[in-house]
A and B are shown apart, each in its own frame.
Chain A
Amino acid sequence: MTTADTTRPAPRARRLRRPKGLTAHLVLMTAVVLSVFPFVWTIVMATNTTQDIYKSPPKFTFGSHLLENIRHVLNTIDFFGSMLNTVVVASVTTVLVLFVDSLAAFTFAKFDFPGRKLLFGTLLLFMMLPLQLAILPQFILMSKIGWVGTLQALVPPALANAFGIFWLRQYIENGVPDELLDAARIDGAGFFRQYWNIALPMIRPALSFLAIYAFVGAWNDYVWPLVVLTDPDHVTLQVELAQLNVGHTTDYSMVMAGVLMAALPLVLVFAVFARGFIAGATEGAVQGT
């Protein structure tokens, strides 16, 4: 807001863009540096040896041990196999979360039906309960249906997260005008068509964000996969990565190389989905759908 102040005494200077833009970029760049710094440091750690990491002060320059560390990772764990598992689980989870949550959110946002408030209130309430304690009953449930040790056991608990519904309802409620749905109804569109053809395309930015949220969540999930994946040949990346970090001594540079390799796909996914925001309302308003 301090940035905005400086531009104030220029009421009608053509566009005001230049000075304001400059300060904005300065602030944003500072934030970027702060944000990226630990990430860069992860790379620094991954390219050095563990001893370099614990030097005082720590070494902050890139080293030449990256390939060696990566080789260590690949020799110690089944990196690509577990990564494939994770990709499958995270993708399936994301698609299901998007569908299930948007459908429910659309219903909550645009329709009234008996019990709506109660059902939605329950969601909110249960979001506040930490689910760590749920691991045991969830495991028992999974063993009852015979899913222990299988990858599909990871999906339902991730779907039971109410955040997506909460978030999408917030967006749909005001982002999808009632008039449009009215018009569609008059045109003969039923419930599902209203959802699929009208609501969904309009909430694409919100969906992109939820997709990232769900994907990152599934990708980084650790405790539940650790417990439920009893078959060593079917584990996810995070469980496999934890193998690097055991024993009395930890080879941190190797761990960081693993962490880095595991995070890169996420950054990629984010870069792809982040485009969804550009297709959002600002530009969309000009182009139409």
Chain B
Amino acid sequence: MDLSRRGFLQAAALTAAASGLTVACGGSGSGGTKNGKNLTLWYWGGALSDKVVAEAKTHFGSAVTLTAASIGGDFKQKLTTTLAAGSSVPDITGIKGEDMASFLPNASRFLDLNDLGFKKISAQYLGWKAKLAQTGDGKQIGFPIDIGPTALFYREDLFAKAGVATDPDKVAALVRTWDDYFTLGTELQRKNPGTYLVNNISAVFNIAVGQGTQRFIDKNNHFIGDQDHIRGAWTTAVRPYTLGIDAKINDNSWNAAIGKNLLTELGAAWHALDIEQAAPHTKGKWRVCANPAGPSNQGGSYLALPKQCRNPEEAFKIISWILSPANDARGFTDAAIFPAAPAAYTMPAMTGPDAFFGGQKVIEVFGPAAKAIPDSYEAPADAAVMAPYMTELTNIEAKGKKPDDAWHDAVSQAKQIARRQGVN
């Protein structure tokens, strides 16, 4: 056949395939308009009340167009990647409480909310929560959305069966310390054969560590995970295992166990929904009381403004409106978000009785707990350093590893991770 046509075919086919690249090279990398009229908000399902977000759109509609994107999957990875690349960065973004510490070393990627007026309203929010989103030199990166004050959920019916007091205040008095709690557990188990006090010992450890003011790394960037406060939490966590009141649930069977053979459950306010969802047939049988040995915090997120924010003033207005105590309280009704603004705790949205807990007004437990959570310092590498303790506690349960051996392995592992992360 004629050469030209053949050549043309080849060329056409190849250009068709490669055209993407050539065209692309001419494309512009601009990140959008700079007039500050369009703002994007990234959050994940359940981080904010969708209704409040929708209202924010109309409330600020005259000034800016707010586009809210609820993002599924690994939120942190997506945020880190876009921040690192510096394009398509949202104007407002959520940050999960457990990720906040790791974003703090890169505070320069975000705006200091104190400059925008957070200082004036910060008294409305729990100090310990706001402080966790603050750098050493006082830059405020995150605006607190919610918190996760922990408490003790317990099965009123099984307590009654064992002849133990069932009134939340009385139970709280019975479990003032961890030891009291475990002693009560052995007694409950004797009267309710086949039941267990705790779900697994990692959960106990997690809460016990959170009850203190120090965690695994101190403010001078020293590893302190081998010191008494951690050792104490560890010893506490191992107790239910040695007493035989640990259900050792480390797989997915929690969902099936929760309505069945667990006497109590330690968890944050939002955990109530998990229980309700997994065991709807136990409605009315649960109660909540103060956490043994005091509350700690689990979870709870922030909103932040990345440096690229196209209209900082307006964006700050939007987040302070979304997270105003009144709107925050609605988050509790809509999405079981426990507000970080104590003023919300007295609002009708939060003070009503909860049928799942037999009509108990759970805010009476969680409200005081929220305010009693201690100030603590969480280093950027904290979560990474904590991981080996969890692994080793699981090893005790799954493999019957000797608790002392597990402790030594956990500490040596943690030290290694700490060194890797630049902790000395």
Contacts and interface: CB of A to CB of B under 8 A. Distances in A.
Direct chain A–B contact by Cβ atoms under 8 Å: yes
Interface of A: 50-51, 54-56, 96, 99-100, 103, 135-136, 139-140, 143-149, 152, 155-156, 188-193, 196, 222-223, 226-227, 230-232, 239-249, 251
Interface in B326-345: 335-336
Nearest to A155: B20
9 contacts: A54-B278, A56-B253, A143-B87, A145-B24, A227-B82, A246-B45, A247-B46, A248-B273, A249-B273
A76 B274 CA distance: 20
B220 interface: no
Nearest to B86: A143
A232 B69 contact: yes
B85 A139 contact: yes
B121 interface: no
Contacts of B253: 56
A230 B24 contact: no
B1 A248 contact: no
Contacts of A144: 29
Contacts of A100: 17
Interface in B63-84: 67-74, 77-78, 81-82, 84
Contacts of B70: 232, 243, 246
Given A56-B256, A135-B77, A147-B27, 8 more contacts: A50-B277, A136-B84, A143-B87, A143-B88, A223-B74, A230-B90, A242-B73, A248-B270
A80 to B, nearest CB: 17
A62 to B, nearest CB: 21
A135 B74 CA distance: 13
A51 B281 CA distance: 9
Contacts of A188: 1
Dominant SS among interface residues on chain A:
helix
Given A145-B25, A152-B20, A188-B1, A51 B280 contact: yes
A243 B74 CA distance: 11
A50 B28 CA distance: 47
B29 A146 contact: yes
Closest 10 pairs (CB-CB, A-B): A242-B72, A247-B46, A246-B45, A232-B69, A143-B87, A146-B27, A145-B24, A243-B72, A230-B88, A54-B255
Contact of B256 (A50, A55, A140): A55
B12 to A, nearest CB: 10
Contacts of A140: 84-85
B128 interface: no
B177 interface: no
Interface string B1-14: 10100100110010
B72 A239 contact: yes
A90 to B, nearest CB: 16
Given A55-B256, A136-B84, A248 B72 contact: no
B369 to A, nearest CB: 18
Interface string B250-264: 000101100010000
A51 B277 CA distance: 8
Contact of B73 (A96, A99, A196, A222): A222
A227 B277 contact: no
A144 B87 CA distance: 9
B88 A148 contact: yes
B30 interface: yes
